[in-house]
Amino acid sequence: MAKGSVIALDYHTYQDAGTGVEVIRLTPPDVLCHRNYFYQKCFTRAGDKLLFAGEFEGNRNYYLLDLAKRKAVQLTEGSGDNTFGGFLSHDDRYLYYVKHERRLQRVDLSTQHEETIYEVPEEWVGYGTWVANSECTSLVGIEIDRKDWVPLTDWKVFQTFFTRQPHCRLLRIDLNSGKSHVIHEANAWLGHPIYRPYHNETVAFCHEGPHDMVDARMWLVNEDGSHVRKVKEHAEGESCTHEFWVPDGSALIYVSYLKNQPDRQIWRFDPDTNTNEIVMTMPACSHLMSNETGTLLVGDGVGTPVDVQDAKGYSIDNDPWLYLFDVHSKTHKRIAAHNSSWRVLDGDRQVTHPHPSFTPDDKQILFSSDFEGKPAIYLAALPN
């Protein structure tokens, strides 16, 4: 299929057996479809259109779904799309994504005209999720030395790659000129670069790898490359993961869990005071995301983590639920079961992960799951 092709989708609605919540499956269970990474912009500002990835004819490409009309327009074509890292611009004019781990592409949503903004040098590989600032004038990303790079096709390779201490660099790319500048460089696996919303001077990134082997997961650096500092010193047996900025820029929120303890904790870091505080204890969720102001959080229940070296020390029962967390009352409730298998599918470690997030009006939760067949995309209504 080519850019501009339109696919009509047949939604399926059901009531969750455990909570009675209405859930809508947006994409067919016999075609692999998934949402982008949970902190990347996927809804237009009005909430009427949704960016997603689908394999409708062999290649996994980006589509923009008009939710009311139930029709999706194909935005990209061919192989090589990084379908987790793509995002919509703040003004809903463009899709940005990385092609073949080399080219940062910009697609005009109204015409599907596509252009290359930046090309990774031949001796480097573009890795992971690249994230723009709030104004969409610049972007931060990770490049890994091609001599060190191996495709991360399963969790065993994930652990092995960490021990290689790959040569990585964190760079800033000007989205108008395409010029790049290296912010930070190290012989350590770097990942998850994220601009602090509305504060371009601060960039978060992580030391990637098995959570129980990483020295300190979360770091900050100034946009000019100065003042590299840890967000948190890990306690004995502590692992931290899946950090994200609250969309209004007020805090960095992350998940913390301890060896031989089933529960996990939600932590909040204040970048203005450089202080960490526990928000609340929660069931064993993997990913968290908040609404715009950080008053509500959503998480996806999980089983024993696969991204640790000592799986026995972190063994827990599988939790199939999506949870809603109220930060002020420090309470939580089940939304609906996601029932994801969390399996690696055809060398893709992420495609079955729920990666839940809020719709712009805070009335529904967007997530992916493969419980009905191939990964599909769902919207679950929030309980009153």
Q: Given this model, what pLDDT does residue 263 score?
A: 81
Q: Which residues pair with 282 in a beta bridge?
A: 264
**Helix (H/G/I), strand (E/B), else coil: 163:** helix
Q: Hey, what long-range contacts does 49-53 have (CB within 8 A, 24 or more apart)?
A: 49/92, 50/26, 50/366, 50/377, 51/75, 51/86, 51/87, 51/88, 51/95, 52/26, 52/27, 52/377, 53/81, 53/83, 53/84, 53/86
Phi then psi for 52, rounded to 5 degrees?
A: -150, 170
Q: Given this model, what pLDDT does residue 187 score?
A: 96
Provide the token pair at 223. 């946009």
Q: Which residue has the higher pLDDT, 154 or 348?
A: 348
Q: Which residue has the higher pLDDT, 142 or 261?
A: 142
Q: Which residue has the higher pLDDT, 346 or 309?
A: 346
Listed residue (295, 366, 306, 360) closest to 46, CA to CA: 360
Q: In what order do the strands lie in the sheet with 71-74?
A: 6-8, 71-74, 59-66, 49-57, 33-34
Q: Given this model, what pLDDT does residue 1 score?
A: 73
Count Cβ atoms below 10 Å from residue 242 Cβ, excluding itself: 21
What are 139-153's pLDDT values in tens digits?
Answer: 999 999 999 999 877
Q: Given this model, what pLDDT does residue 344 score?
A: 86
Provide the token pair at 303. 């089983």
Alpha carbon distance 314, 316 (integer Å) = 6
Alpha carbon distance 332, 362 (integer Å) = 16
Per-residue pLDDT, averaged over 98-109, amounts to: 97
- Is the pTM of the predicted complex or chain greater than 0.85? yes
What residue has token string 């935005």? 75
What are 196-227's pLDDT values in tens digits?
Answer: 999 999 999 999 988 677 889 999 999 999 99
Cβ-count burial of 229 within 10 angstroms (0-12 exposed, 13-18 middle, 19+ buried)? exposed
